Amino acid sequence: MNNGGILVAGAGGFIGGWMVRSLLSQGAKNVIAVDIKDKCDWYQVFDDVDNRVLDLKQSNNCKKVMQGVDIVYNLAADMGGMGFIENNKALCMLSVLINTNLLNEAKENMVEKYFFASSACVYNQSMQSNPRNLGLKEQDAYPADPEDGYGWEKLFSERMCNHFYEDFGIQVRIGRFHNVYGPHGTFEGGREKAPAAICRKVAEAKLSGNHEIEIWGDGEQTRSFTYIDDTIEGTGLLMNSHYPGPLNIGSSEEVSVNELVDLVEDIAGLKLQRKYLLNAPKGVRGRNSDNSLIKEILDWEPGIALREGLSRTYDWIFRELSIR
């Protein structure tokens, strides 16, 4: 494990918290964890790291945290599920300031490696109109037509990373995350993604006895969902590789929203009456990860089955709701 500083930007978030945990488990001694949220709102907090509450959209804050840093994990972004990103495009776009400031300081401090967390939202929307998506390859981001707001910010930031690699030699690594889920994340409040939202709704139905569930859209839209452990493992493997280009880090286990509900109902041991909200935000019709390139580059792909990951996630959310 590197003896220099390791910066985790967005450490108070879902993926960031798990990343800090993983680094500590590997023996990291000099981790700087940064998030804009008050520390009481971080999903996971670890006492044996340097925890800082700072807004990294401010360049002076990036300058402060990058002193002595060798490795950067940029996981910071203002984002959420489809309901959030469709209604907060400007806020999502402002995350470009974080990546810009961190990259500039990475150049000034000659960091060894820089990871940028991108998203499947960068992919051309015209290739996602069919619910049965055979899988999006890395080159399918162009010609560019990403998700408005959030997707454009991620695609632009990818290109900035690429140019800092080409012009200044910064060893960038870019992972395109596909719908990451798991315990210790958002499951209510408007920023939650589909797996957490459905786990919460099913858990609430079981606790309340009101056996009805609202589903956004007709439930036939498809996605692949990646468990957090796979996401962290894939990120680590990419960071230890020599591959600078964008790489899918996503499960290829495609499932419809209706099938997702089926799975969580079966885990919870109940059946719900479904109410479809056809005017709710739905995103693209079908999205899945083509893992040909990650298998070629890393000889690896996510392997945790959706049912297993959902069971862990549902159990955690059910416990969280039960103790209120």
Does 181-224+253-289+304-318 match 5-180+228-249 at the fold level?
Answer: no
Measure CA of the first residue to CA of the last residue in the chain; give whole Å.
40
The whole-number mean pLDDT for each consecutive block of 10 residues of the chain, a chain of 324 residues, reads: 83 97 96 97 96 98 96 93 86 96 97 98 95 93 96 98 97 98 93 94 97 94 97 98 97 97 98 94 92 98 98 98 92
Longest dimension (CA), the chain: 60
**Nearest Cα to Cα of residue 208 among 275, 267, 274, 272:** 272
**Nearest Cα to Cα of residue 160 among 95, 109, 69, 111:** 95
Domain 5-180+228-249 has CATH 3.40.50.720: yes
Report pTM.
0.96
Phi, psi of 212 (to 5 degrees): -140, 145
The residue ranges of every structural domain in the chain are: 5-180+228-249, 181-224+253-289+304-318
CATH annotation of 181-224+253-289+304-318 = 3.90.25.10
- Specify whether the CB–CB gap between 195 and 323 falls below 8 A: no
**Nearest Cα to Cα of residue 233 among 180, 187, 193:** 180
- Specify whether the CB–CB gap between 196 and 259 falls below 8 A: no
Question: Which pLDDT does position 3 carry in this prediction?
Answer: 61
Tell me the catalytic residues.
Answer: 150
Secondary-structure percent of the chain, ordered helix, strand, coil, rounded to 5 = 45, 20, 40
- Specify whether the CB–CB gap between 249 and 235 falls below 8 A: yes
- The enclosing H or E element of 203 equals helix 194-208
